Each structure stands twice: as structure tokens, then as C-alpha cells.
């Protein structure tokens, strides 16, 4: 029995998130189907996160214990043979027996992409938020800097049964930059609450609109009230960029 860490990427536009659901196509369902064809099935898959409907992943991690003896260097090609074109396994490695894709995670990095041009780009449909009014990336970067540090992010969370207890998260990176007509918000933290990144983006857009000042963000954090922050930005622009583990 080996414990494996598998990394994959996917375009989430046509999926209802990661976790298997009734009457809805999910990433887990498709991945699990490919895995069963390769190993014969029976593995209990542990995922690093719960991406929602329409969210994308450049690096998503799963761990699983399997009796399959297929060499790890051959597994990516074997799995990709049965995966659709909008999903791909990037790598596979053996990890210690106690490793768990979710509970062993030390942090994640997300990116949120905004197409900032008067005319929509049809090739970015469902892959970036189209925001046609001017965006001042310098102003937004100034505001984003207030997210860095350990804070209670209750104001930046959609409350449901997913998150209980301590809502404090340590943000290690929060920046906004422009690449041509695309404005990108990148944020890394030791963990994220439900809809946290999308609410951060919605709040930054309120800053652009003059409804919130950059210096108001500490007060929004201290309020611990979802109504104090901006709206939840659409899922289409959100990407899980990277998952961090303490592995050699």
C-alpha cells in the first residue's frame, strides 16, 4: 500500500466544483472515473480544498492510498489518457503514510483575473471577470496591502457549515498588478474561508468605485460583519495557483 500525492490542473468552467454531487458534473467525479480505469478503483481520495462551481485550478492536490503497483512516473500519462481536455494530471509522488492533502497543507495561493477593457474577450469567457470601467491597479494594490497579516476574516466570509470556530487567517501575500489589459489579484495565506478571496476582490472593486477607501479595510476587518465588506465577485476569475506542503 502506497500513499500518493497527485497534482492536477483543470478549467472549472463546465464543472460544479470539486466535490461529487447528485445531478451535477464535478471534477472529482471525472478524476475518480479515470482513476478507477487505471487502478481498478477502491481508493479513498483526499482533496486539498473544495473549489466551487466555475472556479479553476492551476495546481490542485489530492492524496490517496492505493495497492496499485504502477510506477509513479507512469501514472500521470495513464490518468491523462482517460481525462478530458480541460483537465490534466501534472505529477505524482510517494508521500509518508500520514500525509493528507488537506490536513498536511501549510497554505495556498490564489489568483483572481479581471479583463479590464471596454470590449469583452470571447476567449476569456468564464475564465476572467470582464470589468469594462477603468481600474487603477496602484490604488487596488495599496488597498490589498491591508489584507496582509493575521486577521479575523469574518467580514470576508460567507457563513455556512463549512467554517466553524476560529476565523483568523494569516495572509502572507496580497498584491494587485496589471499585465496588459488584465488586472490580477494574487493572495497567499495559511488558509482561506468560504468565498474569502472573491469577497476580497469585491471589496477592492468597491475601492475603485470610491465607495470604500484603502484605509477603511482595517475597520472592515475589525467589524467582523459580512455586511461591512464588498460583494462576492463572480467565480469565473478565481484560480487556485499553488498548494504548499512541507515535503522534501
Overall residue count recorded for the chain in this entry:
248
Strands (E), the chain: 2-10, 46-47, 56-66, 87-94, 105-115, 129-130, 149-152, 168-179, 182-189, 238-245
43: cell is: 481508493
Q: Please give the torsion angle defined by the CA atoms of residues 194, 198, 200 and 206, in that order, rounded to the nearest 10 degrees.
A: -140
226: cell is: 459580512
133: cell is: 470601467
What is the H or E stretch that residue 62 is in? strand 56-66
125: cell is: 469567457
Is there a contact between 247 and 176 (Cβ–Cβ < 8 Å)? no
- Determine whether 52 is an active site residue: yes
State the greatest distance between any 2 C-alpha atoms of the chain, in Å, as a whole number.
59
Task: Quote the CA–CA distance of 58 and 87 in Å, as a whole number.
Answer: 10
Which one is catalytic: 11, 44, 52, 225? 52
Radius of gyration of the chain (CA): 19
Task: Quote the CA–CA distance of 196 and 156 in Å, as a whole number.
Answer: 5
DSSP state of 212: S
Q: Which residues are catalytic?
A: 52
Amino acid at each position: 500500500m502506497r500513499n500518493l500525492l497527485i497534482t492536477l490542473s483543470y478549467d472549472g468552467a463546465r464543472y460544479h466544483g470539486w466535490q461529487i454531487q447528485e445531478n451535477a458534473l464535478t471534477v472529482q467525479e471525472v478524476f475518480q472515473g479515470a482513476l478507477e480505469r487505471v487502478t481498478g478503483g477502491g481508493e479513498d481520495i483526499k482533496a486539498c480544498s473544495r473549489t466551487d462551481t466555475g472556479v479553476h485550478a492551476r495546481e490542485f492536490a489530492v492524496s490517496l492510498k492505493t495497492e496499485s503497483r504502477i510506477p509513479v512516473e507512469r501514472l500521470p500519462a495513464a490518468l491523462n489518457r482517460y481525462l478530458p481536455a480541460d483537465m490534466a494530471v501534472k505529477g505524482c509522488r510517494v508521500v509518508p503514510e500520514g500525509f493528507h492533502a488537506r490536513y498536511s497543507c501549510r497554505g495556498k495561493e490564489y489568483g483572481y483575473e479581471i479583463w479590464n477593457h471596454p470590449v469583452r474577450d470571447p476567449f476569456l469567457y468564464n475564465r476572467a471577470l470582464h470589468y469594462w470601467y477603468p481600474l487603477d491597479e496602484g490604488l487596488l494594490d495599496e488597498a490589498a496591502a491591508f489584507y496582509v497579516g493575521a486577521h479575523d476574516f469574518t467580514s470576508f466570509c460567507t457563513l455556512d457549515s463549512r467554517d466553524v470556530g476560529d476565523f483568523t487567517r494569516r495572509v502572507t501575500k496580497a498584491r494587485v498588478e496589471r499585465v496588459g489589459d488584465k488586472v490580477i489579484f494574487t493572495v497567499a495565506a495559511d488558509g482561506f474561508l468560504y468565498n474569502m478571496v472573491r469577497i476580497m476582490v469585491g471589496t477592492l472593486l468597491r475601492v475603485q468605485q470610491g465607495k470604500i477607501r484603502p484605509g477603511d479595510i482595517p475597520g472592515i476587518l475589525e467589524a467582523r460583519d459580512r455586511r461591512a465588506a464588498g460583494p462576492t465577485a463572480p467565480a469565473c476569475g478565481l484560480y487556485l495557483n499553488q498548494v504548499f506542503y512541507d515535503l522534501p
